[in-house]
Amino acid sequence: MSRETKQDRIIRNLLDQTTEHLHELKSLDSNPNTKELDVERWAQSFLRNCLGYSATAGYSIRAQETKGKMRPDLIVLYQDKPIFVVEVKKMGFDLNKSDFRCGKVQLKEYLSLIGDVRWGILTNGCEWKLYDFSLPEYGGIEIANFDLKSEDAIEVSKKAVEEQAYEFFDFHESSYTTSMWPELSKEAMAFSPESLAKAILSVDVVKYVAKYVRGEHEFKANHEILTDRLYWLLEQGLNDAIKGWNDTKAAEIHKFVKSQKRASRKTKRTRKSHEPVTESVCQSQPESSVPATQPEMPENKTAS
């Protein structure tokens, strides 16, 4: 039997609370009269009982603290020092909205007012997004997220609850108190659209793609032309570049990505089971594992 890791132990201990909170969230989601304040109260309890920001661990949560015209929904403090702000939206609110009063803009305003606070969380109850606001030029970069809904439903089976607990562990207090959040921030910067676009168009990657094309199609690709084609693909996006691209095919790719994430998580848990429990178990996927999965993606997309 593999040795239980620190992450496994924490999740095992919070499964009952997670199950209870998912049942409550499911009721809120099915009630058309649910108000934003209801979601805020639930989120506050979820932070304490499932994410570990409890009074016994030295944390406190202030709700609806007014500062002039600014009113952050929740401020999480450690020994009376603010460490992050939570903006709560009503159920079903689109967290990706980009207008002036979107949650991300509000978070930035609150953090500027409070000062010396790096992190912000945006949630509508089901979806949660963690932002790093330490780099003003980016206006807040999303470094982690999870969704308590699976295919438009909140699942409360034992297996689903356990999977959700592993999904939101990056937001847990034990991740915050380690170097996990700064590491996630570095990863988000490295995997930003701009960074990935430059990596894809780099000489080394174009050479690798040319080698793949030659093996698949017995065609020696001109590197300059191939670079232009890759740039065009990035500009257009899959929905414009692939003939017949639709919601069904997009869902197939999304399902494939989720299966790869689950496989990666199982591999990570197996690998970590041999390490001391004092070490962080929420490490980013090693760079050496990326090339092994990358070449499969174009094949699966094409097959879709």
Residue 282 has pLDDT above 80, yes or no: no
**Domains parsed from the chain with CATH numbers:** 6-189 (3.90.1570.30), 192-303 (no CATH)
CA angle 269, 185, 207 (to 5 degrees): 80
CA–CA gap between residue 89 and residue 72 (Å, rounded)? 11
pTM score of the predicted model: 0.74
* 8-state DSSP, 286: P
Supply 156's token pair: 């409360």
Distance in angstroms (rounded) separating the CA atoms of residues 188 and 27: 34
pLDDT digits (tens, 9 = 90+) for 138-178: 778 999 999 999 888 999 999 999 999 999 999 999 999 99
Residue 164: its pLDDT value, please? 95
What's the pLDDT score for residue 237?
Answer: 81
pLDDT in tens, 104-124: 888 888 888 888 899 999 999
Beta-carbon contacts of residue 221 (< 8 Å; ≥ 6 apart): 209, 210, 213, 214
